[in-house]
């Protein structure tokens, strides 16, 4: 959060003549919430109209005159928050986890009755991470070999990371569509499991190291060459450009968008 505002502005700029963006943040007192309060508060084209904690009713967003809801809460309450937003014509950007296919389908149904409202649900708000996964998926069909190494702080309880699982899925789909077979592997002796997990046919290795936050490398190799796409998230500031991009774009994209990819010019 130490970068001069002028820098981030040049990267994700306000659209000219856009309607005013009045943001209510739900979950403003959590870790992500505090970063978001600073980021939205510091953006010249956004107005932070409400910082709501876990005990505040979502209706307070409406009372504060919000046009946009930023939901950074917990899976238990996020669907109700978003349903309320849609019902009242607020655009919503959602960083809360737990939005299963079933929940998203219900939400799409609701949005059909409010065709002017936009909702973005993003499992990962890091623009860099989303770009990295998309690049890996695009490149992986050109190389016989591909493996993923994800590295996180050692307080993380699950392995591999959700981002690594999603990246493996994207890569696997792209390779299958291109008719590329499995990565070559002559291993016959690996008594202790050093070759890691097989996720959708892609090897995934999870490193846990004090000092790290959230990092991922996709290694792709062919005869005589290697292509590496690496993303490092050093702190939650990494997610703020994606949050701002979402808030600035969601009103112009009615309906439900799942994944920040939808808002990046990736194809």
List the interface residues with a second copy, window 145-204 (CB under 8 A). 145-147, 149-151, 154-160, 164, 179-181, 183-199, 203-204
138 among the known binding-site residues?
A: no
Cis peptide bond N-terminal to 231, omega within 30: no
Site for a second copy in 91-130 (CB under 8 A): 126-129
Phi/psi at 241 (5° precision): -55, -35
Asked if residue 262 binds a second copy (CB under 8 A), the reply is no
Binding span for a second copy by CB under 8 A among 17-25, 98-106, 111-119, 238-246: 238-246
| Site map (CB under 8 A) of a second copy, residues 54-93, x = contact | ----------------------------------------
For a second copy, the binding residue among 45, 47, 232, 261 (CB under 8 A) is: 232
Non-local (6+) Cβ contacts of 192 within 8 A are none
d(Cα 102, Cα 105) in Å, to the nearest integer? 5
d(Cα 235, Cα 240) in Å, to the nearest integer? 10
| 156 in catalytic set | yes
Binding span for a second copy by CB under 8 A among 65-73, 80-88, 228-236, 248-256: 228-236
30 among the known binding-site residues?
A: yes
- Nearest 5°: CA angle at 68, between 76 and 129? 70
d(Cα 131, Cα 133) in Å, to the nearest integer? 6
Binding span for a second copy by CB under 8 A among 47-55, 94-102, 110-118, 131-139: 131-139
Asked if residue 13 binds a second copy (CB under 8 A), the reply is yes
For a second copy, the binding residue among 142, 253, 254, 261 (CB under 8 A) is: 142
Non-local (6+) Cβ contacts of 220 within 8 A are 136, 139, 140, 142, 143, 145, 146, 226, 227, 228, 229
The least distance separating a second copy from the CB of residue 248, rounded to whole angstroms, comes to 13
d(Cα 3, Cα 187) in Å, to the nearest integer? 47
Nearer to a second copy by C-beta: 9 or 114? 9
Binding span for a second copy by CB under 8 A among 50-58, 80-88, 116-124, 205-213: 205-213
Report CA Rg, the chain: 20
What's the number of CA atoms in the CB half-sphere (13 Å) around residue 80?
Answer: 8
Nearer to a second copy by C-beta: 256 or 257? 257
123 among the known binding-site residues?
A: yes
Asked if residue 267 binds a second copy (CB under 8 A), the reply is yes
Non-local (6+) Cβ contacts of 66 within 8 A are 22, 23, 24, 49, 50, 90
Catalytic one of 68, 91, 152, 205 = 152
Asked if residue 220 binds a second copy (CB under 8 A), the reply is yes
29 among the known binding-site residues?
A: yes
The least distance separating a second copy from the CB of residue 78, rounded to whole angstroms, comes to 22
d(Cα 136, Cα 219) in Å, to the nearest integer? 9
Known binding-site residue numbers for NADP(+): 55
Which residues are tagged catalytic? 152, 156
């Amino acid at each position: 959060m130490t970068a001069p505002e002028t820098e981030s502005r040049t990267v994700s700029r306000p659209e000219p003549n856009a309607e005013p963006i009045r943001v209510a943040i739900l979950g403003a007192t959590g870790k992500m919430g505090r970063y978001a309060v600073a980021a939205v508060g510091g953006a010249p084209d956004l107005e932070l109209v409400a910082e709501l904690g876990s005990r505040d009713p979502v209706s307070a967003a409406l009372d504060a005159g919000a046009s946009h809801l930023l939901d950074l809460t917990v899976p238990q309450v996020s669907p109700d928050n978003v349903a309320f937003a849609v019902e009242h014509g607020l655009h919503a950007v959602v960083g809360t986890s737990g939005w299963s296919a079933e929940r998203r389908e219900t939400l799409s149904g609701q949005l059909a009755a409010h065709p002017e409202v936009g909702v973005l649900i993003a499992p990962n708000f890091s623009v860099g991470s989303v770009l990295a996964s998309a690049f890996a998926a695009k490149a992986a069909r050109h190389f016989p070999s591909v493996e993923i190494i994800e590295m996180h702080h050692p307080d993380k309880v699950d392995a591999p990371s959700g981002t690594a699982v999603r990246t493996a899925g994207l890569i696997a789909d792209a390779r299958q569509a291109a008719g590329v077979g499995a990565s070559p592997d002559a291993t016959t002796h690996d008594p202790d499991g050093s070759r890691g997990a097989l996720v959708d046919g892609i090897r995934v290795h999870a490193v846990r190291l004090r000092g790290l936050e959230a990092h991922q490398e996709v290694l792709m190799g062919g005869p005589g060459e290697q292509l590496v796409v690496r993303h490092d998230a050093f702190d939650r500031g990494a997610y703020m450009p994606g949050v701002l991009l979402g808030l600035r774009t969601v009103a112009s994209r009615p309906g439900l968008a799942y994944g920040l990819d939808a808002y990046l010019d990736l194809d």
